[in-house]
């Protein structure tokens, strides 16, 4: 079972027991020690997968008409996806910052030795 599937099933169980979806996300975020948006993302990742195991094809429901509730749910899902996207962007920026910090430290730590080696070669030419 994937984490997304596990999160999905736990959220659905909490909803069935009377919790709101938002409260279910918060409870699981505490349980997993992760941000609420990560749990929300896992939930919607699984909810968009098809019925086949390993399928990533989104399930589409056929609607005869769009109700106000359908429109609100679609809007909520779009906003949830936007928040998930922001989380991914923040994580990517954090990784880039860590890589830049590591590069800076490596250059800083080796700079003096490199300059000394170059100076010794320069002095040997004189």
Query: pLDDT by residue (tens digit) across 1-41?
Result: 888 899 999 999 999 999 899 999 999 999 999 999 989 98
pLDDT of 108-126, one tens digit each?
A: 999 999 999 999 999 999 8
Q: How many CB atoms lie within 10 A of CB 102?
A: 10
pTM across the whole model? 0.42
SS3 state of residue 22: helix
Measured CA to CA, the distance from residue 21 to residue 89 in angstroms comes to 24
Mean pLDDT, range 51-76, rounded to an integer:
71
């Amino acid at each position: 079972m994937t984490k997304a599937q596990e999160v999905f099933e736990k959220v659905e169980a909490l909803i069935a027991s009377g919790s709101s979806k938002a409260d279910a996300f918060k409870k699981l975020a505490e349980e997993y020690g992760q941000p609420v948006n990560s749990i929300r993302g896992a939930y919607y990742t699984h909810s968009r997968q098809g019925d086949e195991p390993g399928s990533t094809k989104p399930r589409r429901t056929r609607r005869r008409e769009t109700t106000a509730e359908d429109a609100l749910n679609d809007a909520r899902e779009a906003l949830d996806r936007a928040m998930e996207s922001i989380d991914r962007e923040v994580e990517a920026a954090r990784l880039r910052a860590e890589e830049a910090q590591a590069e800076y430290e490596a250059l800083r730590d080796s700079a003096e030795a490199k300059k000394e080696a170059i100076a010794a070669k320069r002095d040997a030419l004189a």
